[in-house]
Amino acid sequence: MENTIFKPFPNPYIKGKQVWKTIQRIDNVVLLEVDNSWEVCVLVQAPATVIMGNSVEAKERLPSSESWGKSGWTFSGAGISKEEAFEKAQEKLHEIVERERAKKEEKELDNGENCSRVP
């Protein structure tokens, strides 16, 4: 998947009657506004595939419902103002960006990248 070109996550993203609007994106982490809430998601790079005989191109997509709490979080005004919910979502965005960057650096080190060879 290293050389695969993924179709970027759309803005806005529309599914049924719901519309997600990208407010901020850093690397593969997005802050989205949907209805009266905010979502922070780690975008998934889905490889090209064939579904029921139809080709589907490689694309970025939202994490699955099963990944919520690990790769996706919702912040709503339940008990707090919409502004406070937005602030919490922004904090989570930056926390997750740092986590994802650390995971990427660790993976690169495990693969021997960033290591200089000594003759």
What pLDDT is attached to residue 42? Answer: 98
State pLDDT tens for residues 57-101: 999 999 999 999 999 999 997 788 989 999 999 999 999 999 999
What pLDDT is attached to residue 118? Answer: 47
* Secondary structure class of 95 (helix, strand, coil): helix
Q: Residue 46 belongs to what domain range?
A: 13-110
In a domain, 7, yes or no: no
In a domain, 35, yes or no: yes
Token pair for 91: 């904090």
φ and ψ of 32, to 5 deg? -115, 150
Amino acid (1-letter code) at residue 66:
E
In a domain, 72, yes or no: yes
Q: How many helices (H) and strands (E) does the chain have?
A: 1, 9
In a domain, 79, yes or no: yes
What's the structural domain count of the chain?
A: 1
What pLDDT is attached to residue 115? Answer: 53
In a domain, 4, yes or no: no
In a domain, 69, yes or no: yes
What pLDDT is attached to residue 16? Answer: 93
Average pLDDT over residues 12-34: 96
In a domain, 85, yes or no: yes
pLDDT band, residue 109 (cuts 50/70/90):
confident
| pTM for the full predicted model | 0.83
Mean pLDDT of the chain: 90
What pLDDT is attached to residue 114? Answer: 53
In a domain, 43, yes or no: yes
